[in-house]
Amino acid sequence: MGMMKRILSRALRWLGHNWFRVGILLSILLVVVVASASYQGYQNRKSEEANKKYAADRRNDCLAIYKTEGAKWSNVKGWRYGEGNDTCYIRYSDPKPKSDAKCDELYPLNGGGLSFWWRENALCKDGEFENTF
């Protein structure tokens, strides 16, 4: 215990003689931390804005594809843009709709867990399908 007291005493004595230097170093460190956090936040906002602009442009591209497809085909029903996978989906009515049983066979919903076929199954039962662009 005596050794700890001596070490602490020396450290406090050194700090007492060098308090100004320690304060300057801590101030510089604080400025660097705040500046780097601000810069990182700026970069994140800049990246988010670029991503939003890209998604808006792709949505407009998808709308243009929808209009083009609608001019070519009479069975075009709608469109959507999947931002997560950067894909344009154009929905069409199926000229030969399938029965609910056939849709369940083609796009099974049974089994444990989340089914990847739920959208396709629902579209099939509604007599529709999607193409990707």
Domain boundaries, position 108: 19-132
Type of residue numbered 21:
R
CA distance 40 to 54: 21
CA 120-125-130 angle, to 5 degrees, is 40
Please report the pLDDT score of residue 115 as a whole number.
Answer: 63
Q: Which two tokens stand for residue 5?
A: 């007291």
Q: What is the mean pLDDT of residues 53-58?
A: 96
Q: Is residue 2 part of a domain?
A: no
Please report the pLDDT score of residue 123 as a whole number.
Answer: 94
Q: Is residue 5 part of a domain?
A: no
Q: Is residue 120 part of a domain?
A: yes
Please report the pLDDT score of residue 111 as a whole number.
Answer: 63
Least confident among 2-6, 32-36, 37-41, 109-113: 109-113
* Tally of domains in the chain: 1
pTM above 0.85, yes or no: no
Q: Is residue 68 part of a domain?
A: yes
Please report the pLDDT score of residue 41 as a whole number.
Answer: 87
Q: In what order do the strands lie in the sheet with 128-132?
A: 76-82, 87-93, 128-132
Average of per-residue pLDDT values in the chain? 89
Q: Is residue 3 part of a domain?
A: no
